[in-house]
Amino acid sequence: MSKVVIVFDAVIWLCFWRPLAHSRQMILLCRTLLLSLLAFFLLPVSSQGESTNEALAHATAAIATAAPRAQADPARPVFHVTAPAQWINDPNGPIYYKGFYHLFYQLHPFSDESGPKYWGHVRSRDLVKWEPLPIALWPSSDAGEAEVWSGCCTINGQGEPMIFYTSIAAGKSAQTHAEQWAAIGDDNLIKWRKSPANPVLTESLHGGKKIYDWRDPFIFRYKHRTFMVTGGNLNQAKGGQAVVNIYEAENAGLTQWRYRGVLFNHPDSTVRTAECPNFFQLGDKWVLLVSPYGKVQYFAGDFDAETCRFQAHTRGLLDGGPNFYAPNTMQISDGRRLVWGWVNGFPAGHGWNGCLSLPRLLTLSPDGQLRQNPAPELRKLRGKPLEWRNIRLEDGGQTLMLPRSNALEVSADIELKTAEGIALAFKGQTNDGRSLVVHFNGRDLKIGDAEASLALTKGERKLSLRIFIDHSVLEVFANETVCATRVISQQDANAGLEIRAQGGSANVRLLQAWPMKTIW
């Protein structure tokens, strides 16, 4: 079997190696043909007791088999990161390293529904064009591992790339049994081997304290010290005792850690646990993100590195829509902080399921509110614009014809003047008169049945919208403060946009619409 694995490895490399490919179609065709062939030979390999290379071959073949159907699905987004096929959830280990932005993600390679998790991988030179890479991590069944859950990627004090992730053992419940493991990467972050120091963090670090749902390591540095936070709760997710834990590294190789206690006790009695904590500095404040089995929350405040406690002063939601979860952040070389979330809620049965949100740039306002903007690099995906200026609306509407594409960005600067509200309805010509409506009533932004409160600045009645429609994904950014992500039914490529002022007059100072290019 080892010979098969070597040949397989070589073919994977050829399939993913850019210089060999002359066009997108060629890459797709080559990959699909070669990997389908391999799938044919390798699928019969049993997953019972397989070696780690066989586990990788088996998973890669399953993805290749599912890819043609997934990639032909018209609802599949083209400018959001997806796996070549099958199920994905959380973004993992975002890192900028040696000229590439790397994103990993939770992947279930054997179906388009949730199942045992692996780590998928993509990278980009510019945050615009992305390149799919081989699966980065898979469960080491020979070491009793059944799943590799979410985590982070960092460079240790000896210059070695490391992934930290939550390891779930075969036959054990993730609620009561988890360990934090590490893997060491090559210089391209493509090939990973499990660290001989595993398990790097075990429950014994907590002394007598039991932490349930203990998972999702995230590493940050402060004044030459290295810290890790993990999520969990103290009462079996019964509610009211969600915690974020903090550890400090004791050696440069990051294989020895000391528990520094609870960084943050979640204040809400209904919150059952804190998943995927991210903790980082924005300006002179600290921001904590938690995914609480509900809408993702942020807290901003002060961190005392001596006591390892976080004091939150402000809080809010990262996304008001129903389909954004488990975000993960990256600090890039110029110090900016980007975030990606998991866009969930797609129907099963299409050979793919889930994508990552667009990268958002995070800043903090002077009063401690999180501001989010689409990463400026995304402008490079724009095609030829259509533009309208000063559309005056008097308690009525106007319809504009959008670029003929179902991958679009629409940006609108609107003065509400005397209008009580404004509605933007995307109307397809063939989708049975159903339209997608973004509605602002002066207090709340509503997108279908999702609602997020949006306060206008005193004395200012301005609404600035950036709306991204990518086949079946909608992301809305309003006044840099409110974001909403939702899964929508596949949009018509020939849509009109009806803008309507309600109860008064409004002026659309500038409206621009672009067809968007693919990121692949």
- Shortest separation between residue 89's beta carbon and ligand FRU, angstroms: 5
- Shortest separation between residue 345's beta carbon and ligand FRU, angstroms: 13
| Cα 422 to Cα 507: distance, rounded to the nearest angstrom | 10
C-beta of 90 vs 492, nearer to ligand FRU: 90
Output the six-digit token pair for 45: 């390999």
Query: Is 19 in a helix, a strand, or coil?
Result: helix
- Shortest separation between residue 30's beta carbon and ligand FRU, angstroms: 31
Q: What are phi and psi for residue 118, nearest 5 degrees?
A: -120, 180
C-beta of 58 vs 117, nearer to ligand FRU: 117
- Shortest separation between residue 113's beta carbon and ligand FRU, angstroms: 12
- Shortest separation between residue 454's beta carbon and ligand FRU, angstroms: 27
Output the six-digit token pair for 282: 């924005």
- Shortest separation between residue 7's beta carbon and ligand FRU, angstroms: 31
| Cα 331 to Cα 324: distance, rounded to the nearest angstrom | 20
Sheet holding 192-194, edge to edge: 145-155, 161-169, 179-185, 192-194
Q: What are phi and psi for residue 282, nearest 5 degrees?
A: -130, 110
C-beta of 242 vs 497, nearer to ligand FRU: 242
C-beta of 156 vs 180, nearer to ligand FRU: 180
Output the six-digit token pair for 177: 């049994």
DSSP string, 97-149: ETTEEEEEEEEETT-SS--S-EEEEEEESSSSSEEEEEEEE---GGGTEEEEE
Cβ atoms of 473 and 488 within 8 Å: the answer is: yes
386-394 and 444-447 strand pairing: unpaired
C-beta of 145 vs 409, nearer to ligand FRU: 145
Summarize as ranges the residues that interact with ligand FRU (CB under 6 A).
89-90, 106, 117, 149-150, 166, 215-216, 275-276, 291, 325-326
C-beta of 121 vs 500, nearer to ligand FRU: 121
Query: Is 340 in a helix, a strand, or coil?
Result: strand
- Shortest separation between residue 319's beta carbon and ligand FRU, angstroms: 14
| Cα 24 to Cα 130: distance, rounded to the nearest angstrom | 12
Sign of the CA dihedral with 204 first, then 209, 211, and 212 last: positive
Cβ atoms of 101 and 121 within 8 Å: the answer is: no
C-beta of 92 vs 491, nearer to ligand FRU: 92
- Shortest separation between residue 148's beta carbon and ligand FRU, angstroms: 9
* Short-list 310, 309, 306, 305, CA closest to 286: 310
- Shortest separation between residue 225's beta carbon and ligand FRU, angstroms: 25
3-state SS string for 426-466: EECCCCCCCEEEEEECCCEEEECCEEEECCCCCCCCEEEEE
* Short-list 55, 53, 73, CA closest to 7: 53
- Shortest separation between residue 270's beta carbon and ligand FRU, angstroms: 18
| Cα 98 to Cα 108: distance, rounded to the nearest angstrom | 28
C-beta of 101 vs 105, nearer to ligand FRU: 105
Q: What are phi and psi for residue 355, nearest 5 degrees?
A: -150, 175
* Short-list 247, 244, 243, 245, CA closest to 227: 247
C-beta of 89 vs 406, nearer to ligand FRU: 89
- Shortest separation between residue 213's beta carbon and ligand FRU, angstroms: 7
| Cα 292 to Cα 294: distance, rounded to the nearest angstrom | 5
C-beta of 199 vs 504, nearer to ligand FRU: 199
C-beta of 218 vs 514, nearer to ligand FRU: 218
C-beta of 324 vs 325, nearer to ligand FRU: 325
Cβ atoms of 184 and 160 within 8 Å: the answer is: yes
Bridge partners (DSSP) of residue 127 are none
355-356 and 360-364 strand pairing: unpaired
- Shortest separation between residue 274's beta carbon and ligand FRU, angstroms: 9
